[in-house]
Amino acid sequence: MTVKLLPALTVALLPIAQPASAQVFLEGFVGRSFPQSKRATITAEEARVNGTVIPARLRVDVERLRATASTTFGARFGYWHDWVGVAADVATLDTDVRRQTIRATANLRLDEELFGERITIDPGQDVSVSIPRVGVPTTGTLSLLGMVRLPRGGVQPYAFAGPTYLVTDTDLSGDWGLRAGAGGRLALSRRFGLFAEYRYTRVDAEARAGRFEGSASAGGMTVRGDTGDINVGFRLRSHAAVGGLSFQF
Query: Looking at residue 163, which CATH number applies to its domain?
Result: 2.40.160
Residue 15, domain member (yes or no):
no
Of residues 38 and 78, more confidence is placed in 78
What is residue 2's three-state secondary structure? Answer: helix
End-to-end alpha-carbon separation of the chain, Å? 44
Residue 202, domain member (yes or no):
yes
What is residue 187's three-state secondary structure? Answer: strand
Residue 16, domain member (yes or no):
no
Which CA distances in Å does 93 have to 49, 69, 139?
39, 10, 5
Q: Cα angle at 225 between 221 and 228, to 5 degrees?
A: 165
Residue 5, domain member (yes or no):
no
Residue 14, domain member (yes or no):
no
Q: How many domains does the chain have?
A: 1
Q: pLDDT by residue (tens digit) across 167-194?
A: 776 555 667 899 999 999 999 998 999 9
Residue 163, domain member (yes or no):
yes
**Residue 242: CB atoms within 10 Å:** 23
Per the rule left: phi > 0, alpha: psi between -120 and 50, beta: everything else, 191 is alpha
Q: pLDDT by residue (tens digit) across 118-142?
A: 667 777 777 777 766 666 666 789 9
What is residue 143's predicted lDDT score, i.e. its pLDDT?
96
Amino acid letter for position 142: L
**Cross-strand partners of 209:** none
What proportion of the chain, given as a percentage, has pLDDT over 90?
33
Residue 10, domain member (yes or no):
no
**Domain of 82, in residue numbers:** 24-248
| Mean pLDDT of the 42-59 span | 60
| Mean pLDDT of the 194-204 span | 93
Residue 8, domain member (yes or no):
no
Q: Which of 12, 156, 9, 131 is nearest to 80 (CA)?
A: 156
